[in-house]
Chain A
Amino acid sequence: ADPCHEEGGAPRVCVPGLVNAALGREVLASSTCRQPPAQACDSSDPRRAHPATLLTLAGGTTSPVCWRSDWLTRAPLNVTLTVPLGKTFELVFVSLRFCSAPPSSVALLKSQDHGRSWVPLGFFSSRCGLDYGRPPAPASGPAGPGPEALCFPEPQPQPNGGGLLAFSVQDSSPPGLDLDSSPVLQDWVTATDIRIVLTRPAVPRDAGDAEAAVPYAYSATELQVGGRCKCNGHAARCLLDPQGHLVCDCRHGTEGPDCGRCKPFYCDRPWQRATAREAHACLACSCNGHARRCRFNMELYRLSGRRSGGVCLNCRHNTAGRHCHYCREGFYRDPGRAPSDRRACRACDCHPVGAAGKTCNQTTGQCPCKDGVTGLTCNRCAPGFQQSRSPVAPCVKTP
């Protein structure tokens, strides 16, 4: 079954499955315990190394299982974990399992431009105002009309000593907001990179003991970024291209890493994201098989009642017109052939002397004849006329 088309062939919205977009991706940690070997951490010894790769390891079990930062003894105590997802995804959740006491403050950010700029998705803190200058998240969710970065309670320590950071985009979106119909929500869930800033360790520190050398290290595993490869409703899966980049397997006449534009010949109407109601497939231009390229014209699209705006370019086989649907000057439509036939347009072949011009009627093929001349190509004298010696008046009345 084709998830992007009905059984009858009609296009329908299709989306890739929910995956852990961070799985196997390289995590950039601003701090990882390395040298000198201390406290069972030695980056040169696999049995005692705690690299950031352990956060997103694909398959298998390792020992150790947790990434660990360097010992942090003085401010700043920030440690940043950045995960480039490789392409745009539509986020559903982000989670991170801590192997030691979870931090008291964490900021979660996303980038939509491969790390050039960052915006917050949410905060987690026991001191939202102090740490992030925000009020705690209301229990009812965001008050505004759109999603917003709220400050949630800090990850709670669990009996085993660890803790779990869990963020769901649903928690920061007003109820009733629908991804299909809300461009704001579509923008909110779109991300190319995720960044987690571990801002404040669990160890209580206040101004008085900020310099106190109470060593602390962040330690975590299982960084998950739940989401769908973003294909705008025009692909059911993402694949690796020959260059090793993750790209959508675009359908519906679309192309691009996110199926974000119409293919070159599929520009009869503007690109749109597919919805459950309407697939908004890009339509091929109607050129009767005589052109390989076309362009979109908004004015024509509006005039057609938003049905068709494609204009064929470089009509071949002596055809012309927006859809290559009539013959170019000097040619006429052969009624015995289909409009898509390569020989649908025949040369007028007007007689060089008998015809008054080279352009014939595009439907009948009749050339314009001089006085007294007849025939489709004006190659004979009409009854009652005879050929003269003058090329200007080739037929004269019979005496």
Chain B
Amino acid sequence: EVMPTLDMALFDWTDYEDLKPEA
């Protein structure tokens, strides 16, 4: 089973703004 790659758009960065990778 090949899982889809992680979708960055689904992540909620509200509490982790400092971890958010640069676009």
Contacts and interface: CB of A to CB of B under 8 A. Distances in A.
Interface string A375-388: 10001111101010
Nearest to A374: B3
A321 interface: no
10 contacts: A351-B6, A373-B6, A379-B6, A380-B3, A380-B4, A380-B6, A383-B1, A387-B6, A391-B11, A394-B11
Contacts of A354: 6
A392 B1 contact: no
Interface string B1-23: 11111111011110010011100
A165 interface: no
Interface of B: 1-8, 10-13, 16, 19-21
Main SS at interface, chain B: loop
Mostly, the A contact residues are: loop
A277 interface: no
Contacts of A374: 3
Contacts, number: 44
A16 to B, nearest CB: 64
B12 A387 contact: no
Interface of A: 351-354, 373-375, 379-383, 385, 387, 389-392, 394-395
B12 A381 contact: no
B13 to A, nearest CB: 6
B12 A390 contact: yes
A127 B11 CA distance: 106
A387 B13 CA distance: 14
B7 to A, nearest CB: 6
Contact of B5 (A379, A383, A389, A390): A379
Given A352-B21, A383-B1, A394 B6 contact: yes
A353 B11 contact: yes
